[in-house]
Amino acid sequence: MATTAQLFEEPFDADEYIERLAWRTPGGGSKGGAEAFDPKKLLEEFVNHIEELKQLDERIQRKVEKLEQQCHREAKEFAHKVQDLQRSNQVAFQHFQELDEHISYVATKVCHLGDQLEGVNTPRQRAVEAQRLMTYFNEFLDGELRSDVFNNPDKIKEAADIIQKLHLITCVYLKGKYHDLERQLIQEFTAAQRRGEIGRMREVAAVLLHFKGYAHCVDVYIKQCQEGAYMRNDVFEDIAILCQRVNKQVGEVFCSPETVMAKLIQSIFENRIQAHVKERLEETHFNLGSDKHTFLSKLIKNIFSCYLESYIDMERQYLQNRSGLILQRYYDSKNHQKRPVGTGSMQELKERIRQRTNLPLGPSIDTHGETFLSQEVVVNLLQETRHAFERCNKLSDPADLPKNAFSIFLLLVEYLCVDHIDYALEIGLSAIPSPDAKNANLYFLDVVQQLLSLRFDKQFNDHLMPLISSSPKLTECLHKKKEVIEQMEVKLDTGIDRTLNCMIGQMKHILVTEQKKTDFKPEDENNVMIQYTTACSKVCAYVSKQVERVRRSMDGKNVDTVLTELGVRFHRLIHEHLQQFSYSSMGGMLAICDVAEYRRSAKDFRVPLVLQLFDTLHALCNLLVVAPDNLKQVCSGEQLTNLDRNLLHAFVQLRVDYRSARLGRHFS
């Protein structure tokens, strides 16, 4: 049989085998030799050799059967071990789920408890602070400062804070009552003057003497004195009669009649006489010299000087009222009550927990698709501010023009940028759902889209810049503008980042729900159609919608920046998702088909980096199906040669034949 074994060495050829057997048989050669050709010996040798081959076949068959039985036995034992491991894994997974639910429950309880503690602690702190301030206030009333905070030089800051709060409290409560009583006294004085009750006028004037509104009382008296006083054709005769009548009366009413008479004479000159002179000059066209217009303009300006001195205060008050009314009408039309922006340590703790975990910390705000940004509101606010800048340019003293213009600009920042735009951003941030929310509404992109459509640089350049360009206020304005824009950009970046997290969360939810382990390790390898899986199809459809939505919501380089970030996160999600499965030969082909479909979706991003990442992922998936002997060649290809060796090995380990085919030796 040793001879027979030698005859079966590779490569085996039947004709050569017969020739070699005949050649080795004495008398079997076709050309004779030492012995002549003997067909009987050759036949006998063939018969004996056939018997030996049959015996050899039987022994090999018995050995094969024995090995097959051993293989079946070991396969059953391995299957039992796998089932035990699966049961253990299922138990561990159930324990993990219970632990995760318990953690979520505890976290929710902690946050709820924190809310309750904050709700209880805040009134308590306010009550304690109020009691403390009352104690200090009593010390001031007693005239003896006993507390250490007022006697210790090291606590001067704390003492200053207490004094400031006490001063504010007293000013707030006394100021309102002060003005209210002052207004009532002036009304009483006016009514008494109309009734001609000199005694009552004298009493009220004596009380008002110690109020700041005493001057206003005098002004009201002078104004009412002149009502109906100019009835004759001769204005000077009317003035003389008025002065005689008032001169007698002011001595009975006011303690300083000379001051009241002086104000009356000033009022008569600045109002009635100046108007009479102007009227006469214009009627007769007197020649006032070459400086006629300057002379008249000075006279007219003097008439309005009292108003021009306090112009900016009136302008600011008017602009505040108009701007507040515009905003209030808008929010009323939306049936929206402006909510305070959340602040405080507990709110910050919630935000940090939400950002670092996916725990539900209460429902997000439902805005019903409303962005709370209005192009009409912006236009109206800019229009009001433009008119204010025009009035400021005409009515301000040249020395005060830059300061007044900057004051108007600050009001624009307050009502447009803070009260409207920044408020909409805060609402948008609060409305962003957590990444694990199902069917999340990515409403913040609508806020971004509408915000980018609001342009107010023209107001700054066309109306504000000419008024401050040659003053130190220019630097202050530019700094304020930069500060406001940077604050908006930070909130936009935060909102977009969290919105991208929501998109990835939606994709992850689809993959977890739709992707099955049998997708990449089918039970029947021969009846699998080569196409992408259901999970892949739904993810790609979702990605396509989000890419289009990003393009609609943004413009310029913002689109490429956001799509690059979304594409990188999308690639990372798919890369990590594929590493959760093991792949048969046909399953590997399905994975390649899925990645090819993901790559087609990546083309919609129009970002070279994203497409390159998916090209590399597609090349990595080829490691799931290539023959073991070709692994080294594939790994040294153009797309994989620069990748980390451990990454390549990790993908090869996903193959179901990794251990049986001893693929690890290709990476040794």
pLDDT in tens, 82-93: 888 988 888 888
Q: Which residue, among 436, 459, 326, has the nearest Cα to 385 in the 3D structure?
A: 459
Residue 289's pLDDT band, with cuts at 50, 70 and 90, is low
What pLDDT, on the 0 to 100 scale, is given for residue 595?
A: 93
Does the pLDDT at position 519 exceed 70?
yes
Q: Are 448 and 378 in contact (CB under 8 A)?
A: no
Instruction: Describe the chain by its helix, strand, coil percentages, rounded to 5.
Output: 75, 0, 25
Q: In the chain, count of helices (H) and strands (E)?
A: 27, 0
DSSP letter (8 states) at residue 655 = B
Residues 46-73 have a mean pLDDT of: 90
For the cut 80, the answer to whether the pLDDT of residue 292 exceeds it is no
Identify the DSSP state of 583: B
Total residue count of the chain as it appears in this document: 668
Taking a C-beta distance cutoff of 8 angstroms, is the pair 350, 111 a contact?
yes
The segment with the largest mean pLDDT, out of 175-179, 462-466, 479-483, 607-611, is: 607-611
pLDDT in tens, 6-55: 556 666 777 777 877 777 777 766 554 455 777 888 888 888 888 888 99
651 and 616 in contact (C-beta within 8 Å)? Answer: no
Average pLDDT, the chain: 81
pLDDT band at 2; cut points 50, 70, 90: very low
- Per the CB < 8 A criterion, the answer to whether 365 and 431 are in contact is yes
Measuring CA to CA, which residue among 136, 178, 188, 196 is closest to residue 161?
Answer: 136
Tokens representing 33 are 């030799």
In terms of average pLDDT, the best of 337-341, 447-451, 575-579 is: 575-579
Nearest to 318 by CA among 385, 379, 376, 410: 385
Summarize the confidence of residues 448-472 as an average pLDDT: 74
**DSSP of 342-365, one letter per residue?**
P-SHHHHHHHHHHHHS----SPPP
| DSSP structure class, residue 232 | S
Residue 45 has phi, psi (to 5 degrees) of: -65, -40
Asked if residue 345 has pLDDT above 70, the reply is: no
Distance CA(128)–CA(122), nearest Å, equals 10
Q: Where residue 551 falls among pLDDT bands split at 50, 70, 90?
A: very high
Whether 183 shows a pLDDT value over 50: the answer reads yes
- Indicate whether 622 pLDDT > 80: yes
From the list 345, 366, 364, 367, the residue with the least C-alpha distance to 354 is: 364
Q: Is the pLDDT of residue 539 over 60?
A: yes
The DSSP 8-state label assigned to residue 581 in this structure reads: S
* pLDDT exceeds 50 at position 150: yes
**Is the pLDDT assigned to residue 360 strictly greater than 50?**
no
* Structural element, H or E, at residue 18: helix 14-24
State what percent of residues in the chain have pLDDT above 90.
19
Which pLDDT value is given to residue 172? Answer: 64
What integer is the mean pLDDT of 346-370? Answer: 54
pLDDT value for 28:
66
Q: 290 pLDDT band (50/70/90 cuts)?
A: low
End-to-end CA distance of the chain: 40
Both tokens assigned to 483: 């500060």
Identify the band that residue 434 occupies on the pLDDT scale cut at 50, 70 and 90. confident
Does 605 score more than 70 pLDDT?
Answer: yes
- Evaluate whether 395 touches 311 at the Cβ level (below 8 Å): yes
- Residue 46, judged by CB atoms within 10 A of its CB (0-12, 13-18, 19+), counts as middle
Mean pLDDT lowest among 59-68, 216-225, 653-662: 653-662
What is the sign, positive or negative, of the torsion defined by CA atoms of 150, 156, 159, 160? positive
Q: Residues 384, 385, 389, 392: what is their CA dihedral angle, to the nearest 10 degrees?
A: 70
More confident residue, 139 or 254: 254
Highest mean pLDDT, choosing among 171-180, 440-449, 491-500: 491-500
DSSP character string of 272-299: IIHHHHHHHHHHHT----TTHHHHHHHH
Mean pLDDT within 329-346: 74
Q: Where does the pLDDT of residue 281 fall: very low under 50, low under 70, confident under 90, or very high at 90 and above?
A: low
What is the pLDDT, as a whole number, of residue 663? Answer: 60
CA-only gyration radius of the chain, Å: 48
- For residues 549 and 574, the answer to whether their CB atoms sit within 8 Å is no
pLDDT band at 358 (very low <50, low <70, confident <90, very high): very low
Average pLDDT over residues 341-359: 51
pLDDT in tens, 484-503: 889 988 998 999 999 999 99
Q: What is the pLDDT of residue 472?
A: 81
List pLDDT tens digits, range 408-421. 989 988 998 888 88
Q: How far is CA 97 from its chain centroid?
A: 32
- 274 has pLDDT over 50: yes
- Among the residue ranges 195-209, 277-291, 580-594, the one predicted with the least confidence is 277-291
Mean pLDDT of 614-641: 84
pLDDT for res 215:
84
β partners of residue 655: 583
Give me the sign of the Cα torsion angle 541, 546, 552, 556.
negative
Higher pLDDT, residue 447 or 15: 447
Does pTM surpass 0.85? no
SS3 of residue 26 by DSSP:
coil
**Arithmetic mean of pLDDT, 113-142:** 75
Q: How far apart are CA 20 and CA 1, in angstroms?
A: 14
Q: What is the C-alpha to C-alpha distance for residues 664 and 628, in angstroms, rounded to an integer? A: 10
Q: Is the pLDDT of residue 522 over 90?
A: no
